[in-house]
Amino acid sequence: MSSSSVSDGILNFAKQYSIYTGCITFSFGVIGNALNLLVFTQLKLFRTNRCAFYITIESLSNLIYQFFSISLTILTSIYGDDTTGRSSMWCKFRYILGQSCSLTNFYMICFSAVDQFFSTNHRFNIRQMCTLKLGRYFAFILICFLIIHSIALGSSYNVHPTLGCVLSNYVAVQYSTYFLYPIFGGLLPIVIASAFSILAYHNVRHIVRRQLPIVRRKLDKQITAMVLMRVIVFVCLLLPFIIYRIYAINFPISQSMPMAYAIGRLLQTILLSINNINYMGK
């Protein structure tokens, strides 16, 4: 069997894997995030809860990402790829929208963890530092910043004849390699979410000492446990894809090397499908 037929077989498997996992992720993602929105916006118990507000924003962002992701899956099923290597505008738009939703997802998880730390703290003055109004203000500022950031970086993506849709600006490549993926979209949200969720979990273990209604204590414990589990899943699913993206940006594989290109596409498809579980809702 020639290397050409083997590489074609790998690419075909990657295509089929992308289609099936994309449909499964989309189905569960829409259901999961829709349920989140239904619960956290309709139940009176959560309407003034700051953590529920952050989860609502995360769920909205996840829904946008899911519909965007299924569009790529449909294009892959029709054309054999997501067509980002054919249109410069689509190439840029894909990364702008995808990155905006991803970073919103990451930092809403951080906001949820930080909020639980403050709301479960035994000191009254610390619990009063975070309000729903302040949370809405910070969330709005952050989302505006992330969109502007994604537009600025996404405009540096261009279609290369043999490499496809890649970063063409040297400064953007260096920024993505040494700051965006390892720090801003990797280590920073992981550290913030992990540290504050652990601190919040420590707080709720001693929450029985505080003079709070039983319903409020149970709610704090349940939300803190949910946030902690979300952070654990978030870290485990994100790390492999971040490592891959740093490598792929610095060492793009040309289509003139069919075997290496096919293996790279398969690896990207598998790691992306694992990372996409992050957007399926709680």
**What are the structural domains of the chain?**
22-279 (1.20.1070.10)
Higher local confidence (pLDDT), 216 or 220: 220
pLDDT exceeds 80 at position 126: no
Separation between Cα atoms, residue 62 and residue 47, nearest integer Å:
20
User: Which whole-number Å values give the CA distances from 267 to 10, 107, 263, 272, in the listed order?
Assistant: 10, 26, 6, 8
Predicted confidence (pLDDT) per residue in 131-175, tens digit? 888 999 999 999 999 999 999 999 999 887 777 788 888 899 899
pLDDT for the residue numbered 151: 95
Say if strands 157-160 and 164-167 run parallel, antiparallel, or are unpaired.
Answer: antiparallel
What sign for the dihedral angle of Cα 149, 37, 22, 182?
positive
The 10 Å Cβ neighbour count of residue 200 is: 28
| Residue percentage of the chain with pLDDT more than 90 | 34
Q: Among 9-13, 41-45, 190-194, 207-211, where is mean pLDDT lowest?
A: 207-211
Indicate the helix (H) or strand (E) that contains 189. helix 188-205
DSSP string, 8-27: HHHHHHHHHHHHHHHHHHHH
Predicted confidence (pLDDT) per residue in 219-247, tens digit? 777 888 888 888 999 989 988 888 888 88
pLDDT for the residue numbered 149: 96
pLDDT exceeds 60 at position 208: no
pLDDT band at 110 (very low <50, low <70, confident <90, very high): very high
Separation between Cα atoms, residue 36 and residue 282, nearest integer Å:
7
pLDDT for the residue numbered 160: 79
Radius of gyration of the chain (CA): 21
Predicted confidence (pLDDT) per residue in 35-79, tens digit? 999 988 888 878 788 888 999 999 999 999 999 888 877 777 777
Closest CA to 240 of 270, 198, 210: 270
Give the predicted TM-score (pTM) of the model. 0.86
Mean pLDDT of the chain, nearest integer:
85
- The counts of H helices and E strands in the chain are 9, 2
pLDDT band at 254 (very low <50, low <70, confident <90, very high): confident
Separation between Cα atoms, residue 256 and residue 253, nearest integer Å:
8
Looking at mean pLDDT, say which of 25-34, 140-149, 176-185 comes out highest. Answer: 140-149
